[in-house]
Amino acid sequence: MLNGTTAELVERKALRINPAKTCQPIGAMYAALGIHGCMPHSHGSQGCCSYHRSHLTRHFKEPVMATTSSFTEGSSVFGGMANLTQAFKNIFTIYNPEIVAVHTTCLSEVIGDDIPTIIKKSIEDGSIPAGKIAIHANTPSFVGSHVTGFSNMVMAMVNYLSEKTGTTLNQVNVIPGFVEPADMREIKRIAAAMSANIVMFPDTSNVLDGPLTGQYKMYPEGGATVAQIKSAGDSIATVALGHFASHVAAATLESKCNVPAAFLELPIGVGATDRFISTLANYAGVEVGPAIELERGRLVDLMSDLHQYFHGKRVAVAGDPDQVIAITQFLVELEMKPVYCITGSPGNQFEKRMHEILDGPVPEAKIKQTADLFELHQWMKNEPVDLLIGNTYGKHIARTENVPFVRFGFPILDRTGHRFFPTVGYMGAVNLINQMINVLLDKKDRECDEEWFELVQ
**Catalytic residue selected from 38, 64, 102, 106:** 106
Rounded distance between C-alpha atoms, residue 61 and residue 55, angstroms: 10
User: What 3-state DSSP class applies to 177?
Assistant: coil
Rounded distance between C-alpha atoms, residue 140 and residue 101, angstroms: 15
Give Cβ neighbours of residue 168 (< 8 Å, ≥ 6 apart). 234, 235, 236
CB-CB neighbours of 230 under 10 Å: 17
Rounded distance between C-alpha atoms, residue 101 and residue 156, angstroms: 9
Give Cβ neighbours of residue 52 (< 8 Å, ≥ 6 apart). 23, 25, 26, 29, 42, 66
Q: Dihedral angle at the C-alpha atoms of 403, 407, 411, 413, nearest 10 degrees?
A: 80
Q: Give phi and psi for 401, each to the nearest 5.
A: -95, 0
64 as an active site residue: the answer is: no
Contact in structure between 100 and 39 (CB atoms under 8 Å): yes
10 as an active site residue: the answer is: no
Give Cβ neighbours of residue 98 (< 8 Å, ≥ 6 apart). 36, 37, 38, 132, 133, 219, 226
Q: Which residues pair with 103 in a beta bridge?
A: 42, 137
Mind telling me the catalytic residues?
A: 106, 110
